[in-house]
């Protein structure tokens, strides 16, 4: 008979209860229930129940439910309808996570203890962590849900061989790799089978729910039969069946994105307002000259033009130069290698800071007891002048003068050039060379000669404005000029040679 369904029930030592028509799950009103006793034996009875469903012969037979609960209770669909899940014991594989939620991550390979569960892939640091996790349920390992996941081989995401790429339904991407092809191939087949089984199971659950509804109406149409007035929710998409609820942090990120979109216009307006305020602040900012006149910004000593420094101090020789010269002449004329030996750079910088801040200091203080710190600061002062003590326009003139062969003529030419220098340059040069003359008077003790002093002060007191020539040649001329002026300083500057 069409539409007949027969179910065998077996019981041991107890007669099955009588099943009434209204108690049969899914039975139609036109169902006739019969119980037929076939045989009896000691301690065993066999009962057989036939359920005859009277249906319209034109309609196709009703599909059999594949739900596990129906199979276990009513033994419908037969064994093997759902494949047995694949479970693989732990094994060390190389793992790298390259994407999370569609956002690319930096690839970092790590050796991980991987375990394939019934519906997910678990990652442990090592096998000991797996045992510890089993003992402590609160310790959950990192995992990956395989429902809706796609496992495939890849050669583009890594230069390693035997690389397996797994893409989850949430958009995360993992790479698994092993040097042994048979090992990774086993995991590829098992993961792919598990993902397919989970997808089929989710699709089977979705097929049990009717999903046809008339347009512009709440009337629901079943797959077979006349329309009924039962209200039903719309059929969800298969992808949504195998995805879990988003994590709280995902919700927060979505809320943040939506709020960012909502307030994008106001944010841009705020940014424009900030820009306008900054522009007004910059345009209204007082000039450097105004700040200097008010004393808010003070001019430095190191790096200040010689003419401006002397004009500010009201002298023709900078005060710092005079202080250094007096300190060296007081306690450093006989120091070994004076001006040739370098002092402690940190202490020199500390002295420079005090000078620039116009803080009162005494070079006879114990912190400046090393005379080489004083000489180092004096040399730094001359090196950091924007224009050297021998001004740029006079560099080539002094070079041509030093090339003169006759000594008396050379002295007259250089003396004439010195007298043409600005007054601060001329007076500072006179004080400095008089001081160096005193250094030479103690040359037996300090072991400094005219040639040694010229090598130190040649590049310090003069250099060309543009380094377009031969640097070695210029250095030779610099040393020769300083050495000649040092030797002939009594004649050039009118000094008395003691």
Helical segments of 384-422, H only = 395-402, 407-419
Helix axes 319-331, 371-383, angle to 10 degrees: 150
Closest CA to 243 of 211, 199, 207, 209: 199
Look up the pTM and report it: 0.45
pLDDT band of 450, cuts 50, 70, 90: very high
Closest CA to 9 of 22, 24, 27: 24
pLDDT of 449 > 90? The answer is: yes
pLDDT single digits (tens) 68-121: 444 444 444 444 444 566 667 788 889 898 888 778 888 888 888 888 888 888
Closest CA to 119 of 208, 238, 199: 199
- Of residues 398 and 36, more confidence is placed in 398
Radius of gyration of the chain (CA): 49
The residues near 24 (Cβ < 8 Å, ≥ 6 apart) are: 31, 33, 51
Contact 172, 103 (CB under 8 A): no
pLDDT single digits (tens) 281-295: 888 777 777 776 776
Domains of the chain with bracketed CATH: 91-199 (2.30.29.30), 306-493 (1.10.555.10)
Q: What is the dihedral sign for C-alpha 338, 341, 347, 349? A: positive
Instruction: State residue 141's pLDDT score.
Output: 76
pLDDT of 415 > 80? The answer is: yes
pLDDT band of 340, cuts 50, 70, 90: very high
Helix or strand run (H / E) with residue 497: none
The highest-confidence range among 84-88, 255-259, 349-353, by mean pLDDT, is 349-353
pLDDT single digits (tens) 139-184: 677 788 888 888 899 988 888 889 989 998 888 888 999 988 988 8
pLDDT band of 244, cuts 50, 70, 90: very low
Indicate the range of 102-116, 220-234, 350-364, 460-474 predicted with least confidence: 220-234
Q: What is residue 187's three-state secondary structure?
A: helix
Instruction: State residue 445's pLDDT score.
Output: 93
């Amino acid at each position: 008979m069409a539409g007949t369904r027969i179910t065998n029930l077996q019981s041991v030592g107890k007669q099955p209860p009588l099943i009434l028509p209204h108690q049969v799950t899914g039975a139609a009103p036109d169902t006739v229930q019969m119980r037929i006793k076939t045989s009896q034996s000691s301690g065993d009875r066999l009962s057989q129940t036939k359920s005859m469903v009277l249906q319209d012969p034109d309609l196709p037979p009703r599909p059999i439910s594949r739900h596990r609960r129906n199979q276990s209770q009513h033994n419908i669909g037969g064994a093997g309808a759902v494949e047995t899940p694949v479970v693989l014991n732990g094994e060390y594989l190389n793992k790298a996570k390259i994407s999370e939620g569609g956002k690319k991550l930096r690839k970092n390979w790590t050796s991980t203890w991987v375990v394939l569960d019934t519906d997910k892939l678990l990652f442990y640091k090592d096998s000991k962590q797996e045992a510890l996790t089993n003992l402590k349920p609160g310790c959950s390992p990192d995992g990956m849900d395989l429902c809706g996941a796609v496992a495939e081989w890849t050669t583009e995401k890594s230069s390693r061989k035997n690389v397996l790429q797994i893409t989850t339904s949430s958009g995360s991407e993992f790479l698994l790799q092993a040097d042994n092809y048979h090992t990774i191939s086993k995991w590829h087949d098992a993961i792919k089978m598990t993902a397919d089984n989970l997808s089929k199971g989710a699709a089977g659950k979705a097929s049990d729910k009717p999903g046809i509804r008339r347009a512009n109406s709440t009337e629901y149409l079943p797959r077979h039969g006349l329309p009924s007035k039962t209200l039903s929710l719309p059929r969800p998409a298969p992808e949504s069946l195998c995805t879990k609820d988003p994590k709280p942090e995902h919700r927060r990120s979505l809320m943040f994105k939506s709020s960012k979109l909502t307030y994008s216009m106001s944010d841009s307006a705020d940014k424009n307002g900030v820009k306008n305020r900054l522009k007004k602040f910059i345009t209204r900012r007082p000039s450097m000259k105004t700040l200097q006149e008010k004393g808010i910004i003070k001019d430095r000593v190191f790096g200040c033009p010689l003419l401006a420094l002397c004009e500010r101090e009201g002298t023709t020789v900078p005060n710092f130069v005079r202080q250094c010269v007096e300190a060296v002449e007081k306690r450093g004329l006989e120091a070994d290698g004076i001006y040739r030996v370098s002092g402690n750079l940190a202490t020199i910088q500390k002295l420079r800071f005090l000078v620039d801040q116009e803080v009162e200091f005494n070079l006879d203080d114990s912190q400046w007891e090393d005379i080489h710190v004083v000489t180092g600061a004096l040399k730094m002062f001359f090196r950091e002048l924007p224009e050297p003590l021998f001004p740029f326009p006079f560099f080539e003139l002094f070079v041509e003068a030093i090339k003169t062969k006759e000594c008396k003529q050379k002295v007259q030419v250089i003396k004439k050039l010195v007298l043409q220098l600005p007054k601060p340059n001329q007076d500072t040069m006179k004080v400095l060379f008089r001081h160096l003359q005193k250094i030479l008077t103690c040359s037996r003790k300090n072991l400094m000669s005219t040639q040694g002093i010229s090598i130190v002060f040649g590049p310090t007191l003069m250099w060309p404005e543009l380094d377009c020539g031969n640097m070695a040649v210029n250095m030779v001329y610099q040393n020769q000029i300083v050495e000649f002026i040092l030797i002939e300083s009594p004649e050039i500057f009118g000094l008395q040679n003691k």
